[in-house]
Amino acid sequence: MGADTESRGLGRHSSVLRWFPADLVVAVACATASAISVTVSSIQSTMVPVVVSPIVVLFMSGWALTAAVVPGAKGETEERSKGDSGSLTESGARRMDALRRRRDSSAVKRADHKTSEAKFDTERKSYAGLGGFERIVLSFGSSVAVAAGTGLLLAVSPITVGRTSIVVFISVMTALFAVIAARRRGALDPTDRFRVPYRGWLAGVSEAMNPETRVDAGLSVLLVAAVLLAGGATTIALTNPHQGDAFTEFYVLSENETGTLIADNYPQEFVAGNSRTLVLGIGNQEQEPVTYTVVSELNRVQIENNSTRVLETERLGRFSTGLAHNETWQRPHQITPSMTGDRLRLTYLLYKGNPPSTPTTTNAYRTLRLWVNVSEPESQARGNSIGQAPIP
């Protein structure tokens, strides 16, 4: 009984393998590894997506799509009449033998059996599909189409467009295409299904490694070099994506009459000891997580000969936050100055990590400046005017 159970289990496994071809199993495995690794790498650095993701994005997605659209092998036409002594091709003979065995095993015998057999012997047209070379060429082109379509879909969706979202979406589509391809390929006649010609490819590689002439050897070397250069360029692009576009958004907002945040209408008149609200914003586009620190201060400055000299500084506040790539942070805060005077400079200094002991506009990563006037409180101003009144 145990042996029967084991044999049934092996039968189920073998049927699954027959239903899901090996090349599509590889496509699903690569897609799964790519999606998981690129998601993990966004949290913790790893080299796995650098190896797997290019395979999925540049080839496997197109291979699975092509397999879903065209599940059959390349079609052939073999002709042979009963009186013809010509021979069939090996693949044509296999197809004819398989069809004869299925026909002969049928319990129903048609009246026109002889006529059908004569027609079958005269002409046999197989399913029109694609060969291995055509599939490889179409796979690269289809991969470009899948990547372009993914970018368009993500652009009009609420999902943030980035390396992680693009690779995960393409990986999911690759797995879906592979499942559809397996179903469609399994529905075909076994003689019409596409099978990866591993042995033929290995023989071709062996022949390329042992060229007959120096010209063939040179072409083989150039081909290998081109493949290595393309793979290296892709690896570098995925390891250091969009380095030229790395930047940080740093801005200040204020509220208008309706309570909407705008980058305008900033308060310019302050009263010492009284608070006014501004909103500080940071957007991380550095392609990596960053911890930011902001120092706000009020400066009394002197401008001479196109140079600015700080005469007095009042520290107002300090904020810190950690942001992932493409994450935005906004912080409402109160500005409560005590220094008074006209044309004072309200300055925000942004740093990656901790600021130095003496923050300045020179050593800051980003800076923001607003020019404000700070007056004394009305009660204090009246007291000063009374104290300065002339004595009769």
Full DSSP string of 210-243 = S-SSHHHHHHHHHHHHHHHHHHHHHHHHHHSTTG
Say if residues 324 and 280 touch (Cβ distance below 8 Å): no
Structural domain including 6 reads 2-73+129-196
Same domain, 249 and 189: no
Same domain, 31 and 164: yes
The contacts of residue 332 (CB under 8 Å, 6+ apart) are 277, 278, 279, 280
Please tell me the predicted confidence (pLDDT) of residue 391: 46
Please tell me the predicted confidence (pLDDT) of residue 292: 97
Instruction: HSE, CB side, 13 Å, CA atoms: give it for residue 95.
Output: 23
Same domain, 36 and 184: yes
- In the structure encoding, which two tokens stand for residue 134, read together? 């055509």
Catalogue the E-assigned strands of the chain.
Answer: 77-79, 123-125, 247-255, 261-262, 269-271, 276-285, 290-304, 307-323, 328-335, 341-352, 366-375
Please tell me the predicted confidence (pLDDT) of residue 337: 95
Same domain, 173 and 292: no
Please tell me the predicted confidence (pLDDT) of residue 367: 96
Please tell me the predicted confidence (pLDDT) of residue 34: 87
Same domain, 168 and 290: no
Q: What is the pLDDT of residues 207-227, one digit of tens each?
A: 666 766 777 677 767 776 776
Please tell me the predicted confidence (pLDDT) of residue 21: 86
Report how far residue 318's alpha carbon sits from residue 2's, in angstroms, rounded to the nearest whole number. 72
Same domain, 68 and 162: yes
Domain end point (choices 158, 176, 196) = 196
- In the structure encoding, which two tokens stand for residue 176, read together? 């879906």
326 within domain boundaries:
yes
Dihedral in degrees, nearest 10, Cα atoms 229, 234, 240, 246: 110
Please tell me the predicted confidence (pLDDT) of residue 313: 94
CB atoms within 10 A of CB 81: 11
The contacts of residue 313 (CB under 8 Å, 6+ apart) are 297, 298, 299, 300
Same domain, 253 and 191: no
Same domain, 32 and 150: yes
- In the structure encoding, which two tokens stand for residue 344, read together? 């004072």
221 within domain boundaries:
no
Same domain, 364 and 272: yes
Domain end point (choices 173, 196, 219) = 196
18 within domain boundaries:
yes
Residue with tokens 């942004």: 350
Report how far residue 311's alpha carbon sits from residue 302's, in angstroms, rounded to the nearest whole number. 7
237 within domain boundaries:
no
21 within domain boundaries:
yes
Give which of 21, 60, 44 is closest to 167, Cα–Cα: 60
Angle at 325 between CA 321 and CA 331, to 5 degrees: 30
Q: What is the pLDDT of residues 178-202, one digit of tens each?
A: 999 999 988 888 888 888 777 776 6
Q: Is 69 helix (H, G, I), strand (E, B) or coil?
A: helix
Say if residues 31 and 40 touch (Cβ distance below 8 Å): no
Same domain, 62 and 170: yes
Same domain, 183 and 39: yes
CATH number of the domain where residue 366 is located: 2.60.40.10
pLDDT beneath 50, residues of the chain: 1-3, 5-16, 76-89, 107-126, 239, 391-392
Please tell me the predicted confidence (pLDDT) of residue 98: 59
Please tell me the predicted confidence (pLDDT) of residue 47: 60
Same domain, 61 and 161: yes
What's the total number of domains in the chain?
2
R_g of the chain computed on alpha carbons: 37
347 within domain boundaries:
yes
Say if residues 356 and 251 touch (Cβ distance below 8 Å): no
341 within domain boundaries:
yes
